[in-house]
Amino acid sequence: MSDQNDDYVYDEATGEWRPASEIAAEAAKASMVRDAAGNVLVDGDSVVLVKDLKVKGAGQTLKQGTVIKSIRLTENPEEIDCRHDAIKGLVLRTEFVRKR
């Protein structure tokens, strides 16, 4: 009688045996990419800059309120890959954008 609700996994961080479903839910929540306001971001979203950003190597500044369309998520939940008209291959930190 093996039920998935009865599966327990040893959590090394807490030193306790915890339900596998609980650990899986925490992992899914931690892997979500969130913007500066706490909204969940997904591939293809449009975002707006919440502050002026100096772009290294491009010699220009992206102004607050600039719309960035069609973002792509990266392996790092704190960074998104995107394009701007003047800058290709732009990587922004999620703390500087808000979902549009």
Please give the DSSP secondary-structure letter assigned to residue 86: S
Q: Are residues 46 and 86 in the same domain?
A: yes
* Number of compact structural domains in the chain: 2
CATH number at residue 56: 2.30.30.40
Query: In this structure, are strands 67-68 and 60-62 parallel, antiparallel, or unpaired?
Result: unpaired
Each residue's pLDDT tens digit, 32-87:
899 999 999 999 999 999 999 998 888 889 999 999 999 999 988 899 999 888 78
Domain that holds residue 6: 1-31
pLDDT at 1 over 50: no
pLDDT at 44: 93
pLDDT of residue 58: 81
Q: Are 23 and 77 in contact (CB under 8 A)?
A: no
- For residue 2, what pLDDT is reported? 46
Spatial distance between the Cα atoms of 91 and 67, rounded to a whole number of angstroms: 14
Whole-structure pTM over 0.75, yes or no? no
pLDDT at residue number 88: 82
